[in-house]
Amino acid sequence: MGWELLFWLLLCFPLNIAFFASSFYQVLILSDLEDDYMNPFDASSRVNYFVVPEFIGQGLLCALCLLTGHWIMFLLTLPLACYHANLFMKRQHLLDVTEVFRVLKAEKKFRIVKLAFYLSVLIITIFRFVMPLNYHIPIIVF
């Protein structure tokens, strides 16, 4: 197996699956809060549990793409990593319990956009780790 396949299969794919699942879970929690199935403290604590690990993982993925020379993927993930760093520096990265209903629509919309972004990055990652397989598997035509 080539290093390219190992990079996409063992590093990028699990990170992207984790990001996608985390964003999907956060959208579900915010939808439950919007429909009044959950109290604000539980919802914000469940959402906040995933925020910092997601930020660290996004920065790690961006740095890995930079260090391994995958420039397109690096440039694709850089804006979100910079936005996450900006939110963290301003201390606006956590969902506040007292203001959760005021910012609920904006937070839900932001997380849906992130979900779509992570889905597109996941599709690109799957495409990238399938491409090296085409060069290593002989194709038999009958």
Percent of the chain with pLDDT over 90: 73
Asked if residue 85 has pLDDT above 90, the reply is yes
The answer to whether 29 and 43 have CB atoms below 8 angstroms apart is yes
Give the H/E segment covering residue 31.
helix 13-34
Confidence of residue 81 (pLDDT cuts 50, 70, 90): very high
Mean pLDDT, to the nearest integer, of 112-126? Answer: 93
Distance CA 75, CA 79 (A): 7
Mean pLDDT of 77-100: 93
pLDDT at 11: 86
> Could you give the CA distance from residue 27 to residue 22 in angstroms, rounded to a whole number?
9
At 140 the pLDDT is: 56
Q: What's the pLDDT score for residue 125? A: 87
Separation between Cα atoms, residue 126 and residue 138, nearest integer Å: 20
In angstroms, the CA 25 to CA 74 distance is 25
Average pLDDT, the chain: 89
pTM assigned to the model: 0.85
pLDDT attached to residue 134: 66
16's tokens: 């992207």
- The answer to whether residue 33 scores a pLDDT higher than 60 is yes
